[in-house]
Each structure stands twice: as structure tokens, then as C-alpha cells.
Amino acid sequence: MSFLRSQMNAPSRAAALNSSPKAGSMRTGLGVAGAVLGLALAGSAHLERQSDVAQGVSQAFETVSERIAPSVVRIESGQRTQGGVRPLGEGSGFVLDESGLIVTNAHVVNGADAIRIQLFDGRAVDAELVGKDTESDLALLRVEAEGLVAAPLRSEEPARVGEWVIAVGNPLGLGHSVSAGIVSGRGRTANITTYEDFIQTDAAINPGNSGGPLVDLQGRIVGVNTAVADIRTGGQGIGFAIPADMVAQVTDQLARWGEVRRGYVGVNLREVRDFELARLDYSGASRVAVRSVVKGGPAEQAGLEPGDVVVRVNNRPVTTVQSLMAVVASFAPGTEVELEVRRDQLARKVSVRLGERPQPE
């Protein structure tokens, strides 16, 4: 009975114990300590997760750096003289194909008749110029060497703003180097070449990096490092790379013909102003208009007129002079394309059979 009674009385004793100030203080103290301990454990777990993420990113950079390294080359250009070879400059490049094709910038080899390639494994070999395209600032070289490792071009998937990339090359004569950053923007123009659709990146690019690859974290080349904003005009952390799709188009033609054959409309273009668009009752995105038409050229034969605002080419929208030039240049000479233009407040469609753009002198 006493056992049963004790059991029956236990709640009331517990209530009395819990209601005492001392017990409440003990309980509160244990609760605070538990909360602090819980926060400490949670904080520790959070730091551990952060450390794991950081370690994962670090390992990704290490892996891609190792993967791309055998494909990157150092390029020395020069001119032959009676006394030997006069150095012109240095740059970088990468192996496009195991047969010996190497991509670099045209400005790295401009004026050169002697080109020397240093491979990642230390071998040095002479290169011949397959072809160059100054309008995109790309050049294709060929070497005779065994055991070359090609790097894949990511030409079907554009670089995404915000994604991690590394720039690889030979900056300032230091030898093989990598720098990391992100894709800061796309579709940039810098008034460097005729055809520009640059990737902007904050991965460090310096003299000697020209022609080297801009690489994603899977080891695929998204661009060719070409230029950096002039620090004297306030540029910091702004580098430019030619996108891989343009690299693929240009190098394919250089490999076949030693030059690039582009479609040609035969117009001079200008950026159109807002008040002109309002007069045309046009509220679309295009800001490119025909300034003049080349006499006897494809545009004149098709009926294009000065003042026409070009809106689309084969249903591909255009917004700027550069975008229109790039779209037209992507078609082979002889291709018939349909231009949608705005003229006298009316939308018109004009069929143009493209000529071949004259080669730059």
C-alpha cells in the first residue's frame, strides 16, 4: 500500500519540487546550457559544411588545372633576319586537335615568319601558320609532334554569367599559370576587332595570356583570352575572351581554306536614335539602321534603302550593329537570307543573296 500511495503522491511532490525557486533556477540553467551547447554544435556543423564546400571548390580548381595543363602552350613569335631571329613577342595557345592544330590570337603572330611553340612537357617545336583572321583576332597554327593532348571546345553551350572559370597561359614570362574568376558578362564590345561578341571575366588576364584558354570547371574551353581593359582608364578586373562558338566557326574555316569567308550584304550601318524610332512608330529592340548601300552590292540589288531599321535576319533578332554583322557573317557567301526591316512605319521583308565579304588588306 505504501508503494502504491507513494506512487500516487509522486506527482504532487514533483509539482512542489518544480515550484521551488531553486529548482526553477536549476532548470533554467540547464535549459540555457543546453541551448548554448545546441548552438555550438549547430555552429560547428555549419562550419564543417562550409569547410566541405570550400574544399570541394578547391579540389575542382585543382582538378581542372591539372586536366587543362597538357593542352596549353607557350608561343614565341619573331622575324628572321640575317643575324638570326628578331623576337616580336610572346603569347599563349592551346591544342585544338591531336594532329597538331593550335589556336591562338592573330595579334600574337602578326608579322611573324618564325613561330616557336613550347609544349607543357618542355619540348620546343617550330610551328607553321595555317591561317589567321584579323577581323576576329584568331589564328590557327600547326606543329609536328607526338603525344599532343587536345582540349574540348564548349561551342554548343554559351558561358553563363556567374559561373566559375579559370584563365590559363603564360603571363609576363612567368610560365604556365592559372587564375580564377567568374564570367562577368556576355556580348561585350571593346572596339578591338571587327567582329566582337566577347565574354567578360574577372579572372586575371595579363600580357602573355593572349591566345590562352578560358576554361570551365569541367575542363572545357569557353573562350580565348584576348584583351584586358586599360587600367589607365580605370579598368580593373575586366578581361575579354572570344567565345567558343566563334572560335569553332573561324578555326574550321582557317583549317579548310586558310582564311575566313563571310557573308556580305553590302551596306554601311549606324546606330539609330530613339526619336527616329518614334517617327517610324517602332518600339522594338533593334537600334541598327542602314546608313548607305554599296552600289551594285547585294543590298542594292535586293532593294534595301538608307534609313531601313533591320529587325531580324532569318527570324534571328538583331539589336546592334555588331550583332547584325555577326549574324550575317555566320552565313556562307551565296546564302539567301530574309531580312525583316522597318521602313516608313511598315514592316517589310527583303530577300538578299549574300556576296562574299572582301578580305581585309
CATH code for the domain of 234: 2.40.10.10
181 and 237 co-located in one domain: yes
Catalytic residues: 107, 137, 210
Q: What distance in Å separates the CA atoms of residue 67 and residue 328, rounded to the nearest whole number?
A: 36
Contact 175, 219 (CB under 8 A): no
Domain that holds residue 240: 164-256
193 and 247 co-located in one domain: yes
202 and 230 co-located in one domain: yes
Q: Tens place of pLDDT for every residue, the chain, 361 residues?
A: 333 333 333 343 333 334 344 444 444 455 655 665 666 666 666 677 777 777 878 888 999 999 999 999 999 999 999 888 999 989 999 999 999 999 999 999 999 999 999 999 999 999 999 999 999 999 999 999 999 999 999 999 999 999 999 999 998 878 888 999 999 999 898 888 999 999 999 999 988 899 999 999 999 999 999 998 876 665 677 999 999 999 999 999 999 999 999 999 999 999 988 888 888 888 889 999 999 999 999 999 999 999 999 999 999 999 999 889 989 998 999 999 999 999 988 899 999 999 999 888 7
Last residue of a domain, one of 199, 226, 256: 256
For residue 327, the cross-strand partners are none
Beta strands 309-313 and 316-317 are antiparallel
Last residue of a domain, one of 202, 228, 256: 256
H or E segment and range at residue 41: helix 21-68
Q: Is 173 contained in some domain?
A: yes
pTM, to two decimals: 0.81
Q: Is 128 contained in some domain?
A: no
The domain tally of the chain equals 2
N-terminal to C-terminal alpha carbon distance within the chain: 115
Q: Is 188 contained in some domain?
A: yes
Q: Is 154 contained in some domain?
A: no
